[in-house]
Structure 1
């Protein structure tokens, strides 16, 4: 029994490397994002899929509907597969969030957010674990971070390597596939590794430091930052 997991298609937000962790914002696929969905028909036997699952974000649901080929019935919606809650970084450049993440670590929740990066990854992995309960074969349409984590798990050179804060970006609508036993083993291993990661939260700054303006990230330096969701050799809004 098999699960095919893929990132949604491109949006105008993801093209500009803007973050969106609020599912109520009506961010849909760009023209290229819609066209890219047609490529998956050459990669997977989509007519044989028994279960379609998606996050509750419009771009993920739209991608799933495009792949299904019919608007109704829609995919099974699982909020556990949702994108990260970016808090006060919502709608802004990913680079600002990445800068904050590198300073404060994966366990700390960003200002205004309900979860940290690691809490978000754990939630997404729980969504994959729940997906296995549905009839197979399955297609799961989710977001770049989860797919990037799965690629990292498969491609790391040494088992036990520490999970990074920033991952290579996941490609749009390109599936990564797991047999059930392998997927459950992957989820269990990743959850164990997250639990074992040291707390890398930096010490709070003194009031004098808090009042000092932090430099704005230089957008020109983007290529020197490994984006966990942007489209390069591997790798959301």
Structure 2
């Protein structure tokens, strides 16, 4: 699995404080935690397939057949995790992923717009290359034309993660987007770059965080944005 922080082993299977920034596997799925947050990106969407970007939840973007298969696999991976709540964003691709993954389970679904994808304004529907070119020629504090800045989005995500920590449920699935998940992973690991070293995250792959890991992520995101 390489040397990336997202695949490192746990410090302790019995501790409620994990070295948590790793995909869920069979070994960890049945381990109890005081607080468990399973954060996953949505399944492959039609615009993922077309290498185009979407930051407007009012634009209908659905899962591909591959994305639906990924969502079903996510559900299988989480079958033995005693989830009490699923939070998804206002984007249809996250709701579809959650509904497919949790089909047949009595897990309530809630929407949180603050976890939604970055608002890219005039870049809506542009190619991934166009998005990356704009991003790499501007600072994190520069807002996308008609949208928000990367720092704006980061602060929004930090607030959403804080709200998760306030929830009474002890096992929560969060179906969100690549950017908030990437920021959470890198920030919890102490990186000074929210976009790295973990930067290419597979669709519908569950990552485990305990409360301490999420608190570290929040503090680092706020410090860097």
**TM bin (shorter chain):** 0.7 to 0.9
Q: Which residue of 1 aligns with 2:134?
A: 100
Query: Are the aligned partners of 2:53 and 2:127 in contact in 1 as well (CA < 8 Å)?
Result: yes
- Superposed displacement of residue 73, structure 1: 7.6
Q: Which residue of 2 aligns with 1:16?
A: 50
For 1:74 and 1:161, the matched residues in 2 are separated by 35
Give the alignment partner of residue 163 of structure 2, picking from 118, 121, 130: 130
For 2:159 and 2:129, the matched residues in 1 are separated by 27
Give the alignment partner of residue 120 of structure 1, picking from 131, 135, 153: 153
The alpha-carbon distance between structure 1 residues 64 and 185, as it changes in their structure 2 partners (threshold 3 A), is same
Q: How does 1:168-207 map to 2 (within 5 A)?
A: 168-194=199-225
- Superposed displacement of residue 154, structure 1: 5.1
Query: Are the aligned partners of 2:187 and 2:216 in contact in 1 as well (CA < 8 Å)?
Result: no
Structure 1 residue runs of 5 or longer lacking an equivalent are 195-237
The alpha-carbon distance between structure 1 residues 76 and 91, as it changes in their structure 2 partners (threshold 3 A), is same
Higher deviation after alignment, 137-146 or 62-71: 62-71
- Superposed displacement of residue 169, structure 1: 2.1
**Larger helix share, 1 or 2:** 1
- Superposed displacement of residue 182, structure 1: 2.0
- Superposed displacement of residue 186, structure 1: 1.7
**Residue 89 in 1 paired to residue 123 in 2?**
yes
Query: Are the aligned partners of 1:10 and 1:172 in contact in 2 as well (CA < 8 Å)?
Result: yes
Q: Which residue of 2 aligns with 1:200?
A: none
Task: Write out per-residue CA displacement over residues 104-147 of structure 1, whole angstroms, 9 at most, x where no aligned residue.
Answer: 1111111111x101111211221122112221200000001111
For 1:166 and 1:99, the matched residues in 2 are separated by 19
Query: Are the aligned partners of 2:90 and 2:111 in contact in 1 as well (CA < 8 Å)?
Result: yes
Query: Are the aligned partners of 1:53 and 1:131 in contact in 2 as well (CA < 8 Å)?
Result: no
CA RMSD of aligned residues (A): 2.3
- Superposed displacement of residue 166, structure 1: 9.7
Quick check: which has more Rg, 1 or 2?
A: 1
Query: Are the aligned partners of 1:65 and 1:74 in contact in 2 as well (CA < 8 Å)?
Result: no
Q: Which residue of 1 aligns with 2:5?
A: none
Task: Write out per-residue CA displacement over residues 61-111 of structure 1, whole angstroms, 9 at most, x where no aligned residue.
Answer: 111111111599861101000101111100010211211111111111111
For 1:88 and 1:166, the matched residues in 2 are separated by 28
For 1:88 and 1:6, the matched residues in 2 are separated by 27
Structure 2 residue runs of 5 or longer lacking an equivalent are 1-34
